[in-house]
Structure 1
Amino acid sequence: MNPATSALSRISFVAILLLLCGPATALAQQVQVQEVVQFQALVAPQAAQKKVVPEFLKSFINIELSFIHRVCDPTDKQMEKIIDAAGKAFDQMGDLVQDPNQQFFVAGQIHVFGPGNERLSQNPILRVRRDAAEYLKPVVSKEQYERYQAEYQAREEFERGVAIQIVIDLIDRRVMLTEKQRTELFKQLMDSWTNVDLLWVQNYAHNPQYAPTVPGGPIAKVLTPKQQKVWKSFNQVQMSASVGTSEQQLQEEWLK
């Protein structure tokens, strides 16, 4: 029996003994607290070790590495360092996977599921990009990194625009927007809806029976009172997002 198992057995025995002894004295209560703390200290590290990084995340890292390679045009030596840093970042991504036994959900938070139904704490694509922005900076030159930042921001704005355009199409299906309203609503949402997630929005395009929750300010400014009433009558829900194989279109496999 290893030390951890032996300690757990001793803790369980003491806990049962205290329960059988009837009303707990102050000393017994103190012992119980100490035993519970020791038990948690032993179990927590073991639980943490069980978090395995899903292999599908490498696909998103490889896509980002291809983006870096195209934008920064690094030397072979720089690319080797970048790939090495990406591998280390991958090893730290176990915290993305949530305990499947935890059933609580946070209101207003987008819930993301992997291709194997893994429950993830955030959009893995965004996590990969944020990690890349950090480990890339010390490896490349200032000029290379500035190019990367410019392309990074352009990509973010483009994807946000696509997401908002999908949302406007969903609204248009229900309330029949004029061309002027579509243009104005796009402008209003681009100005105010900075955290819209393309991965999340795409789920509504595939599930048209649901309507996404959209910031109320632009809706109130652009839609007529009658249109607003119709829009509010639809089933607006906060759907979860799913990461599937369609997002994993690899060009180069940098990280094996």
Structure 2
Amino acid sequence: MCTLAIVVAIAGIPARAVLAREAEGSAEEAAEEAADQEAAAAAVVEFAQIVEGDALDPNPVEALYRPIVKVELSFAKRSCDLTEEQLQTAINECKTALTEFAKKQGNVNQRNGMVLFAGGVQQQSTPPREKLEQELQTKIVSTLTVEQSKAYQKELEQRVEFRRDAIVGALLRGLDSKLSLSERQSEDIREGMIEHWSDNWAPELEMVDNYGQHYFPQIPSKAITPYLDASQKRVWNGLQKVNFSSGMAIHQQGNVIDDIDLGE
């Protein structure tokens, strides 16, 4: 059911878009639109196959998000020099949190699946992955000493900044390819995106490769347009802006730090 929701959510868009453009007599633009949407649909189908593979697990939602637990525990282990006793306590607490999260998320997935957000469609206020990370971090903090907690919080803040800067850098490269930005414009737009940063428009780091060629996220205009000339504004206004959201954990074909034994 989730896979069907994925395909319908994506495949429904090109049909409407192509028909609208053909009605206007723009067959060439319609073909380009269809090609763009086919590329997006292919990526979605690939993810759907991964989800279906996880369905072989008796707890498929837990299987999908289990890498997040390993990453967060490994991060804490390296950041705070956890003792074996602390690590085992954190593992037990985080496994419990994952089970509770999976039950809630399973109900949400039945309603929403994976969605391509565009136009007036609203994205969840907090992505599922981020919700789980927050819950895991709370569990981990409960196992730490005061000094360890300070070190952990500092590392978390630096990780957030790193992720944000990596996403901004990737988006800037895509913007430059379309708008031929000057060095000053690039710096101003970089600062603009950071100033107006919000999870409501910023893509997940794992999804950022979907942007820059055919699509851009719904970056606030005030972060970009004040620094563009008239010609660049026309180009920017004509670019297709959507928010891809998988709500997923870590891509199962990626490389995940795996130095934590959850006793699976």
TM-score (norm 1): 0.68
**CA 1:52–1:182 in structure 2 vs 1: closer, same or farther (change >3 Å)?**
same
Distance 2:101 2:89 in 1: 19
Give the match for residue 105 of structure 2: 96
Q: Judge conservation of contact 1:72–1:148 (CA < 8 Å) in 2.
A: yes
Percentage of matched positions with identical amino acids: 22
Give the match for residue 221 of structure 2: 216
Give the match for residue 211 of structure 2: 204
Q: Structure 2 regions of 5+ residues with no counterpart?
A: 1-57
In proportion to residue count, which structure has more helix? 2
1:78 aligned onto 2:86: yes
- After superposition, the C-alpha distances for 1:199-237 in whole angstroms (9 at most, x for unaligned) are 3433225xx222222111021221112211111112222
Which residue identity is paired with 1:221?
Answer: P
Deviation at 1:59, TM superposition (A): 1.2
Give the match for residue 150 of structure 2: 146
Deviation at 1:180, TM superposition (A): 1.2
Distance 1:190 1:66 in 2: 28
Give the match for residue 28 of structure 1: none
Give the match for residue 138 of structure 2: 134
1:239 aligned onto 2:244: yes
Bigger Cα Rg: 1
The 10-residue stretch of structure 1 (90-99 or 68-77) with the greater mean CA deviation from structure 2: 90-99
Give the match for residue 249 of structure 1: 256
Q: Structure 1 regions of 5+ residues with no counterpart?
A: 1-49, 112-120
- What RMSD in Å do the two structures reach over aligned CA positions? 2.6
Distance 1:137 1:53 in 2: 24
The DSSP-based 3-state class of the residue aligned with 1:54 is helix
The DSSP-based 3-state class of the residue aligned with 2:147 is helix
- After superposition, the C-alpha distances for 1:106-142 in whole angstroms (9 at most, x for unaligned) are 724169xxxxxxxxx8342x23320122112221101
Count matched residues.
195
**CA 1:171–1:107 in structure 2 vs 1: closer, same or farther (change >3 Å)?**
same
Matches within 5 A, 1:160-199: 160-195=164-199, 196=202, 197-199=204-206
The DSSP-based 3-state class of the residue aligned with 1:77 is helix
**CA 1:73–1:164 in structure 2 vs 1: closer, same or farther (change >3 Å)?**
same
1:109 aligned onto 2:114: no
**CA 1:102–1:63 in structure 2 vs 1: closer, same or farther (change >3 Å)?**
closer
Which residue identity is paired with 2:174?
Answer: L
TM-score (norm 2): 0.66
